[in-house]
Structure 1
Amino acid sequence: MKPFSKHYLAVAIAAACPFAVASADSIDIDEIVVTASPLLKNTESVNKPVNLLSGDNLKNASAATLGETLNGQLGVSSASFGPGVGLPVIRGQSDNRVKVMHDSVGSMDASAASPDHAVTLEPLLATKIEVLRGPAALRYGSGAIGGVVNVLDNRIPSELPTNFSGGVELRNASVNDETVGVASLNAAAGKIAVHIDGVKRDSNDMEIPGYAEKNPEDINTATKGFVRNTDAQSKSGTVGASYIDGEDFIGISINTLDNNYGVPPDGDELVRIDMHQTRYDLKGEVNNPFNSVQKISAHLGHADYEHTEIEDGEAGTKFTNDAYEGRIELIHSPIELLNHVWNGAVGLQAAQSTFAALGEEAFIPKSDISSSGIFIVEETKHNNWTYELGARADSQKITPVTGPSQGSSIHHESINLSAATTWHFTENQQFSVGIAQSQRAPSLEELLANGPHPATGSYLRGNLNLDEETSTNIELGYHWHHDNFQFSNNIFYNHIKDFIFAENLNEIIDDLNAYAYTQAKVRFKGFETELKIPLARVWNLRLFADQVRATLDDGSDLPRITPMRFGTSLDVEVNQWRANLSATHAAKQNHPGDNEDTTDSYNRLDARVDYTFKHGSTDYTLFLKANNLTNAEIRNASSYLRDIAPEAGRNIQAGVRVNF
């Protein structure tokens, strides 16, 4: 690309995001690059805890929801609301404290507003999923105080495919008679690359080993062997294209999603969610546009989202979100300061949305929400030490368009700071320390909710007097590797002042349990440890354990916290065959929180076998998976519905994957 055109493209990319938002008023670990790190490090170079799923590991883990796909990763679990919803939980935190993103831009749906709202990102279309825990999430703003889940795909190509390529996958599951079809195509003409993909899913009610209710009042009328109203149908499709010149590109994509799923009933009323989203993305990247700049990348997203809660066949509350979000990052060339060479990135992020809940039972007023943030991340090395500093400032404004607070803007400012150091005391060992102080502004529903939400069986009351949450997080980590041996351990302590949560009032309003948002000091503490051992040339053993404990300042327990887990998995690969056997034990949750029931311990056994062969230039993979082989009754401590809807029973899944 000629210098003038490269500079022009850099300016165009840099201008795209802020202008558009304003106008709206088995892969080796060393080879896996962490896109969510601004300096594009591999996993062993990142100072802070990161989970990565890509390649065959991602394909084998992919499930119907994002939470279930990530469930079992270190420090990560799923907050299920029936099989149609699975929201990621990172170290006991979810909802507005875990930012779910598509390629570093928000999902722009309603998943953070309520636990019965599904995420609009499709795991089966992802090429990589990154999970950032602790201080690593700072550069993504106040909505990432608990962590970040970044889902990447190829909908906007960044490289020219050398040949016409694609893939098809078909799978069927026994536990709910689920059928899934996935297809993708990649092609190029000159400097234009095109990507097309789609997925379709259809399932019936989910089977379970016993009664749906934990303690049924009448076993003669109680539902046994399945959970009612848990069938689902969804489809998603994407078209994207890019202009690519060497390492530089600019591209667009359009994605549509339709998702209709049932919510397990607490009583006779049946509630379904009928969800639709159309999303547009513009993304570009320019390398070395100026002497002092190594890279400029920008991403703008716009989503038109809506879902209707259908109660006993009639339309009830309708949620809409007309949202824009843009992000631009600049990686500067190394600079010398204070006798050290610094590498780093600076960035801007802005978002604008109009969010509404409409209908007789709407509990959130229609509101305009705008936010903006600026951040910087810098790194330097000295001898065997790596130092990293980061800072971010955010501003949020919420202006209700309807309701008692109509026209009165609510402003919040937040500051995030982090510092980390890693000591590489031998070639194969490193010790890291990280500390971060982060703030989160209250969300729309936390401030202004007032009314019934039948889908969750709750009556919610917001609180206009809520302050920003302030989190102080301390992280200690140790990592050792030698050939294929790996060991890692992380210990964390997170003290959150003015933690916002919905307190169970032990009252009934309009036949619904009443909750009111309040604040208190909360402490999260825990650990994550993992050991990988090659037993022989074709065998690999993994041992893992994680735990998080969350308590309020008065010593009482925070509800819906994942219990301690530990387990093992054994992988074997012989010629064209690959197999895996894994076992996980989850302890009894004896600290369920006030007015909440305990959950029993359980053991889950899973297995998988794949056979791959080649015919011409086409690769074929036949796979067979078995989840919960012992048909254990699993009640998820992170789920609001654990007492009326356990997790799936024994599930046998078979499929074929074709790549050409």
Structure 2
Amino acid sequence: MIQIPKTTVVGQGLHVRQQVFIHRGQLNLLESKTLGETLGRMPSVQNASFGPNAGMPMIRSLSGNRVRVMSDGLSLNDLSGITPNINAQIDMENLSGIEVYKSGASVLYGGRAIGGAVNLHDNTIPKVMYQKPIQASVVVEAGTNSGHRESVTIDGNLGKRWALHIGGSQLKHGDLRIPGNTKADIAYDPNIDHLTADMAQVEVDRLDERNLTLYRYLSRFVQENIDDPKWGLSESELYTNEQYSNIDGERVQNDPNPLYIAGQPEDTPSYFSTVLGIRDYAPVRKGIMPNSHAESRSAYVGASYIQDYFRVGIGYKAIEGYYGVPAFARLSKPKHTHDPSEVVAPTYMPINTRTLSHSVHLEGAYQVKNSLVVDDINLRYSFQKGDDRELVGIYRVNKFDSKRHGVRGEVNQKKWRFWSGTTGVDFSNMKIQSDGQQRYLPDVSGRELGIFTLQKFEIRNIYASLGYRRDWVARRAVHDEGYVVSRGMAGGKLSDRDFGLHQATVDIRWDISSNFFIRSAASHAQRAPDFNELYAGNDHFAILVEENGDDRLPKESANSYELGGGIKFDNFQLSGSHYSSRFKNYLYLAHTGMSRSGGFLVKEWRASDTEISGWEAQFDYHHSLQEGSMVEFSSFFDLVKNRNISDDEMRQWAEGDFMPNLPTSRYGISTGVQNGRWMANASLDRYLKQKFLGKNINLERPMPAYSLLRARIGYRFTVAKRNILTYIDGNNLLNVEARPQNSPLKYLAPLSGRNISLGLRMEI
């Protein structure tokens, strides 16, 4: 059955906590190359795109270190919050579903869920015995603009108590096609400012000439000494507003400037610029997104011993990836010289990313019999090891060897009259060893311990939850001679930091009738600064920034509320909500107004107050015509603002009234039809031109509005008792130039162009 993703209620908090759950059938329709792209059609969730091969979910304008991504409740060994070009290592074919928390989940998952959480339901460790002794599925897909991908999964039962899961997948594509130019029009605008030119990776050959009409006099001193080499004077120093010159100790009247024009406005520019030419750092071709190649491989195996009230399992996963970022960098900075013969033309090379991860998972569950208090106990452990590399061309500039241990235990209470709940503890320990020619992080380590409880109450038609969590977080950096410390405001002392965090939430829903409900929620959440925010320094090639941390940064706090409601009649359902979060010490990567040779903007981590607010609404219609036939329709809109509420003059000068790179307001419609063996669905999303513009020292440029059309037609049939689904899938069918406002690479590359894929999914 075709089903359009919609907001549903999950678990015991059926009438309380709004979550989105996407099951496997929906994932088959939505699945894309990245997690952010897969989830990007939900209200208030957009893709934090860093090129076509790296994208994480942005929830209500928050992403990175504020949206926790987990696998079965345990954090992934995910460095995307530190460097967005490193994609989370996920095999989408190995998931049974994805659970999304849009209104913050810090009580359950800690400070890094201050803006939301994504929990991947992984298939590696079997949860139940399979219906057949052995079963398998195969997926093969090839596209006109997406390369090809293949995956295979084998499940089976070994006797009456053991279940086994084995599988793997691969994907590969070359540089992607795009409509029009790879760079935005602003890149070749003669009026482009130098910071935007750096972000667009263009060199502007500009001739700056002084406005000589602003100067009253001609300097007598310069006139008499301009030909004397010992003074090193130039013609530009001839013009002055000083009435006198000092010559041999005497004041001498300067001559009037015949070009001077009196009475000009105060904002008359002192220089006139003439652009002689604009050239790209590296050659680009129309219709091709440069360095957008990708390839990945994965393998996984898991086994479980399952009894009626007890289950224990172990699993192993390995994922490897190599992909490009559509941007270029210089391997080394030029040396300063006054000799023109020593000037060497800069060589820019593509930025690439290579990743390899191994992980081992243990999982146990026990349903307690004959207990009045405890329903079940769950315990999970994972060890993850990662090797993530940033390359300029083929040269390694950054390498991260990371190790993470994580353990989580939960005790679910038996429901007693109107009361149930969950209490638990989780702990993680992470170490990162960095290496490379110009690494921007020292060796770091961190620990996080959290104890939490979430209690739920159901009294007639009122449903409520109340939760609290206490976290202890430690951040450490290793001093070594091979690391160049930050040149930011803190001076790069690499101080040890310890944080105590408090998380609290209350959520109430009142079902006024069987057709109408209202809901309110309030929370207090805190987040500790992450490694890059505290300790970064040097060039961060992947984001084209010289990144400087500040080891004095405070913890981040947010007080949030949400008000919403919904109406349901027969096959129609309408819901909506308004939310607001006021952040104290909101941590952000701020502009300094400087850039280094090679186009790297100089930025540093700062703390300032901000407010995030927005609206979202969704309408759904579902109608079953007859057995095996149905029609669905859905529409949504969302709007979010990330507003500066501080009295920080530096932030107002650099970033303005709103944070730059805000996701735009948008609306969308979807429809799905199924008739017997045939099924079809289509969606159209409209992304509006951004009205809430921030600054990159200069006012941010809004990207044009655009619409994305996607459609899919499938046919299901049986051959030799094998279920087979064939489908044709189209993305960006209008082949429009789409540049998401929230993408840091919006000046460099749009979304990929039209793609038509043919696929086959077979169950054996």
TM over 0.5: yes
Question: Which string of whole-angstrom CA distances, capped at 9 and with x for unpartnered residues, describes residues 566-585 of structure 1?
Answer: 01112111111111121111
**The one of 572, 588, 594 aligned to 2:689:** 588
Name the structure 1 match of 2:412: 331
Sequence identity, in percent? 26
Name the structure 2 match of 1:567: 668
Specify the SS of the correspondent of 1:639. coil
Is residue 503 of structure 1 aligned with residue 580 of structure 2?
no
Specify the SS of the correspondent of 1:210. coil
Question: Which string of whole-angstrom CA distances, capped at 9 and with x for unpartnered residues, describes residues 281-310 of structure 1?
Answer: 001111125612101011111101011112
Structure-2 change in CA distance of 1:33 and 1:433 (3 Å): closer
Is residue 248 of structure 1 aligned with residue 349 of structure 2?
no
Name the structure 1 match of 2:336: none
Q: How many residues align?
A: 624
**The one of 604, 611, 619 aligned to 1:523:** 611
Question: Which string of whole-angstrom CA distances, capped at 9 and with x for unpartnered residues, describes residues 193-250 of structure 1?
Answer: 0001111000111111010111344699642101111101100110000000024211
Name the structure 1 match of 2:380: 299
Which stretch has the larger CA shift, 353-362 or 193-202?
353-362
**Aligned amino acid, residue 285 of structure 1:** A
Structure-2 change in CA distance of 1:33 and 1:76 (3 Å): closer
Specify the SS of the correspondent of 1:207. coil
**Aligned amino acid, residue 242 of structure 1:** S
| Partner Cα distance (1:500, 1:593) in 2 | 16
| Partner Cα distance (2:5, 2:536) in 1 | 47
Which stretch has the larger CA shift, 358-367 or 397-406?
397-406
Structure-2 change in CA distance of 1:604 and 1:265 (3 Å): same
Is residue 613 of structure 1 aligned with residue 690 of structure 2?
no
**The one of 677, 680, 693 aligned to 1:576:** 677
Name the structure 2 match of 1:120: 89
**The one of 109, 123, 139 aligned to 1:154:** 123
Which stretch has the larger CA shift, 325-334 or 212-221?
212-221
Structure-2 change in CA distance of 1:441 and 1:494 (3 Å): same
Name the structure 2 match of 1:287: 367
Q: Is the CA contact (8 Å cut-off) linking 1:49 and 1:136 kept in structure 2?
A: no
Alignment of 1:635-650 (within 5 A): 635-650=739-754
Name the structure 1 match of 2:474: 397
Name the structure 1 match of 2:137: 167
**Aligned amino acid, residue 283 of structure 1:** E
Q: Is the CA contact (8 Å cut-off) linking 1:355 and 1:369 kept in structure 2?
A: no
Question: Which string of whole-angstrom CA distances, capped at 9 and with x for unpartnered residues, describes residues 9-68 of structure 1?
Answer: xxxxxxxxxxxxxxxxx488999997xx6xx337xx142331121132111101111111
Structure 2 residues not aligned, in runs of 5+: 189-277, 330-347, 486-491, 647-655
Q: Is the CA contact (8 Å cut-off) linking 1:33 and 1:41 kept in structure 2?
A: no
Name the structure 1 match of 2:182: 212
Name the structure 2 match of 1:41: 12
Name the structure 2 match of 1:443: 530
Specify the SS of the correspondent of 1:205. coil
Q: Displacement of 1:597 after TM fit?
A: 2.5
Question: Which string of whole-angstrom CA distances, capped at 9 and with x for unpartnered residues, describes residues 296-328 of structure 1?
Answer: 011111101011112121222101211111111
| Partner Cα distance (1:61, 1:371) in 2 | 34
| Partner Cα distance (2:398, 2:479) in 1 | 15
Q: Displacement of 1:510 after TM fit?
A: 4.7
Q: Displacement of 1:393 after TM fit?
A: 0.7
Name the structure 2 match of 1:376: 453
Question: Which string of whole-angstrom CA distances, capped at 9 and with x for unpartnered residues, describes residues 467-517 of structure 1?
Answer: 111111101121233443222112111111110000011211353111110
Name the structure 1 match of 2:727: 623
Q: What is the root-mean-square deviation in Å for CA atoms of aligned residues?
A: 2.1
Q: Give 4+ residue runs of structure 1 displaced > 3 Å after superposition.
A: 26-34, 216-222, 403-408
Structure-2 change in CA distance of 1:515 and 1:288 (3 Å): same
Specify the SS of the correspondent of 1:209. coil
**Aligned amino acid, residue 158 of structure 1:** K
Alignment of 1:25-64 (within 5 A): 26=1, 40-41=11-12, 45-64=14-33
Is residue 514 of structure 1 aligned with residue 564 of structure 2?
no
Q: Displacement of 1:109 after TM fit?
A: 2.8
Name the structure 2 match of 1:9: none
Q: Is the CA contact (8 Å cut-off) linking 1:209 and 1:225 kept in structure 2?
A: yes
Q: Displacement of 1:127 after TM fit?
A: 1.2
Name the structure 2 match of 1:10: none
Structure 1 residues not aligned, in runs of 5+: 1-25
Q: If the length of structure 1 is used for normalisation, what is the TM-score?
A: 0.91
Q: Is the CA contact (8 Å cut-off) linking 1:473 and 1:493 kept in structure 2?
A: yes
Q: Displacement of 1:655 after TM fit?
A: 0.3
Structure-2 change in CA distance of 1:263 and 1:101 (3 Å): same
Structure with max Cα Rg: 2
Q: If the length of structure 2 is used for normalisation, what is the TM-score?
A: 0.79
**The one of 534, 539, 545 aligned to 2:637:** 545
Name the structure 2 match of 1:129: 98
Name the structure 1 match of 2:289: 227
| Partner Cα distance (2:548, 2:105) in 1 | 33
Structure-2 change in CA distance of 1:98 and 1:31 (3 Å): closer
**The one of 247, 271, 275 aligned to 2:355:** 275
| Partner Cα distance (1:373, 1:284) in 2 | 20
Name the structure 1 match of 2:47: 78
Q: Displacement of 1:367 after TM fit?
A: 1.2
Specify the SS of the correspondent of 1:134. coil
Q: Is the CA contact (8 Å cut-off) linking 1:66 and 1:122 kept in structure 2?
A: no
Q: Is the CA contact (8 Å cut-off) linking 1:628 and 1:650 kept in structure 2?
A: yes
Structure-2 change in CA distance of 1:290 and 1:365 (3 Å): farther
| Partner Cα distance (2:172, 2:420) in 1 | 48
Question: Which string of whole-angstrom CA distances, capped at 9 and with x for unpartnered residues, describes residues 60-90 of structure 1?
Answer: 1011111111111111111111111011101
Question: Which string of whole-angstrom CA distances, capped at 9 and with x for unpartnered residues, describes residues 169-199 of structure 1?
Answer: 00112124x1000111110112010001111
Specify the SS of the correspondent of 2:542. helix
Is residue 349 of structure 1 aligned with residue 441 of structure 2?
no
| Partner Cα distance (2:83, 2:511) in 1 | 43
| Partner Cα distance (2:642, 2:103) in 1 | 15
**Aligned amino acid, residue 603 of structure 2:** Y
Q: Is the CA contact (8 Å cut-off) linking 1:194 and 1:239 kept in structure 2?
A: yes
Name the structure 1 match of 2:578: 491
Q: Is the CA contact (8 Å cut-off) linking 2:2 and 2:679 kept in structure 1?
A: no
Name the structure 2 match of 1:3: none
| Partner Cα distance (2:743, 2:112) in 1 | 21
| Partner Cα distance (2:395, 2:428) in 1 | 34
| Partner Cα distance (1:602, 1:102) in 2 | 34
Which stretch has the larger CA shift, 135-144 or 88-97?
135-144
**The one of 319, 322, 326 aligned to 1:260:** 322
Q: Displacement of 1:654 after TM fit?
A: 1.1
